[in-house]
Amino acid sequence: MPTLPTLCKPAVSVPEHVITMEETLEFAERVHAGKRQLPLALRLIQNTGVRKRHLVQPIEQTLRHPGFEERNRIYELESKKRCPGVIEEALGNAGLGARDIDVIIYVSCTGFLMPSLTAWLINRMGFRSDTRQIPIAQLGCAAGGAAINRAHDFCRAYPGSNVLIVSCELCSLCYQPEDDGVGSLLSDGLFGDAVAAAVVRGSGGTGMALERNASYLIPNTEEWISYAVRATGFHFQLDRRVPGTMEPLAPVLRELATGHGWDVRNLDFYIIHAGGPRILDDLSRFLDVDRKMFRHSWATLSEYGNIASAVVLDALRRLFEEDMPMSGATGIVAGFGPGITAEMALGTWSVDAPAAVAPVAGTQVA
């Protein structure tokens, strides 16, 4: 039986500037005072369960809009400053070096660079010049799951390959002070900034051994989560029907597990995109899974907010750090985003056996 690719422990870093729920409400009341939608937006923000978020700039700078060009310059500066350390940690977690990596998948929906940051990383961090580059820019929050799945696909096509996933989401750089729709105001209190990275090893490693993946697009929902690209940059648009999308997606997750011979209600771990509290509550209800089984996703939402494609990597990191599952434990990763798109993966927990130690010359082996 071929070796399964293994998703190793992610590394995650959040910026130093912190904004609490109370501060978010205070700023919203001040900046959008008198707006008709404000009372509803404040109630929705209070119900997100987000205690705090981390931002790449102090809040007063975040609230100013210096123009799209300057914001994208900040994105480039901050991504180059923050990604290398996270990547080094992720490589260390996987027991690999830069030259062991065959592919870099870079996911981000909050800034634009061409060439992708992958080229800069290869030149600056010692990756081989024949390292393949796969930038993913337009799957939004689903891109973390998509990156895991494309890494899995690559390792199946090229056995023994190693794939590095990098997620850089600086959501605060997309804040638009003139947008005062309920969806925009809610997003202002929900999204946070983070950088995450993880390695999928083609062989060896401890983590989630990837067995099956799938994608699903809910028909005719492509306008429900979107960017309007204007002179001032990316304007986030959110349809009020988005929180209800777990009802049609739950059967898709159930069928994926059933097709693999598993019962989605009885898996050992669940790594779910924390798009908001209703997403997690509805999915647990429709799948008939105890809400506590989503505790890692709830913790990410509470402590960091919705960090877009980095959510699933952070929730997985928390699973590693809480109490690693036993070898053979079954689990699922699911990311949701624009489209409306779901990216899902099934796998079992794999523990890498320590390498045998050769006996010292002259000693007897029992």
**Sequence spans of domains, the chain:** 6-201, 207-350
pLDDT for 363: 37
pLDDT for 359: 42
Q: How confident is the model at residue 43 (pLDDT cuts 50, 70, 90)?
A: confident
Fold agreement between 6-201 and 207-350: yes
Average pLDDT of span 352-364: 46
- Model confidence at 14: pLDDT above 90: yes
- Model confidence at 241: pLDDT above 80: yes
Residue of higher predicted confidence among 45 and 211 = 211
Q: Give the class (CATH, top level) of 6-201.
A: alpha beta
- Model confidence at 94: pLDDT above 70: yes
pTM of the model: 0.93
- Model confidence at 281: pLDDT above 80: yes
Residue % of the chain over a pLDDT of 90: 77
pLDDT for 1: 55
Average pLDDT of span 286-296: 96
Task: Point out the residues that are catalytic.
Answer: 141
- Model confidence at 120: pLDDT above 70: yes
pLDDT for 224: 92
Q: Give the class (CATH, top level) of 207-350.
A: alpha beta
Q: What is the 3-state secondary structure (H, E, C) of the chain?
A: CCCCCEECCCEEECCCEEEEHHHHHHHHHHHCCCCCCHHHHHHHHHCCCCCEEEECCCHHHHHCCCCHHHHHHHHHHHHHHHHHHHHHHHHHHHCCCHHHCCEEEEECCCCCCCCCHHHHHHHHHCCCCCCEEEEECCCHHHHHHHHHHHHHHHHHHCCCCCEEEEEEEEHHHHCCCCCCCHHHHHHHCCECEEEEEEEEECCCCCEEEEEEEEEEECCCCCCCEEEEEECCEEEEEECCCHHHHHHHHHHHHHHHHHHCCCCHHHCCEEEECCCCHHHHHHHHHHHCCCHHHHHHHHHHHHHHCECHHHHHHHHHHHHHHHHCCCCCCEEEEEEEECCCEEEEEEEEEECCCCCCCCCCCCCCCC
122-147, pLDDT tens digit by residue? Answer: 999 999 999 999 999 999 999 999 99
Q: How confident is the model at residue 41 (pLDDT cuts 50, 70, 90)?
A: confident
- Model confidence at 364: pLDDT above 70: no
Q: Over the chain, what is the mean pLDDT?
A: 92
- Model confidence at 15: pLDDT above 80: yes
